[in-house]
Structure 1
């Protein structure tokens, strides 16, 4: 009986000691336990003209909704300089010029799942989520450090676009990439500056 009570006392003592040590340790926040890998990115302003399908036009609120050539549904305000908004019909084709911000994110991320993430991003057939978010891949086809420019082509094809690195952050990015690199592009459409029915 004494041996059993001694063992029981020892177990309770050990349990109490573990509790005391656990309470004395500083509490770790969830953010300290899982550290996200930062993804560097730089943004470039751009103006795009596309032949698109007009979904709807609202002359009162001066907004237009259209499906871009990539399949992304875009809803944008229209500048006051556009005076023919009422003449644009729903479900028609139109040439739309709009401003956007292109953000280039690197693919040199590390950690679990990074290879899968890169493989997904470089898929030539983007998934619906990527299309909705305006996310796509760009292949670097030229880097000119003397002129501080980078030239890229969309992974889906199209024209080569050249962007000027006019800030220190952008110029620093140029030094880290080379021709042939694949980067993630993110588009943020801003404002329609011109619209005309497509002929």
Structure 2
């Protein structure tokens, strides 16, 4: 499934999300999940401030890979007026995304989403920490093994969404997925980003 860019990442113009598969776990009890997959991401980015526009509250950063990115700094982040060209940007992003497939009739957790954001004061260099946790359960409408896709719908109704199954493990397990199964997605995200004065 596609990942949305974190608002806190965009705050500093850093696009950090690239998933990697960490492993599978399988159980066979009819009252337990049929199968599950977990993807874990950890990205670290560094760069140097090349421009600051206080009026527009934007910062342009040259990342260590040579890519230049710009982003708007939220009004809630203090200390933007302290930033100078040449200051360093440091960011660490972590995400853990799990999908658990359950047979019809299996109890699943309630859908929910919580999050929090802490930011710097006006007398501090800009910094922010974001944490978010979300659980959502979908009903499987069908699969297309030949094209490696799965179609899902909210159990309460709505539009049917179709997603590519991109991992080898997921494609191997796709034939086991049946219409009426439940797919629960659990996402945890953590981001810490800051601008520091270059020594």
The question of a shared fold, defined as TM-score above 0.5 by the shorter chain, is answered with no
Q: TM-score range by the shorter chain?
A: 0.3 to 0.5
TM-score normalised by length of structure 2: 0.38
Q: Quick check: which one's helix share is greater?
A: 1
Q: Quick check: which one's strand share is greater?
A: 2
TM-score normalised by length of structure 1: 0.38
Rg: which structure is higher?
1
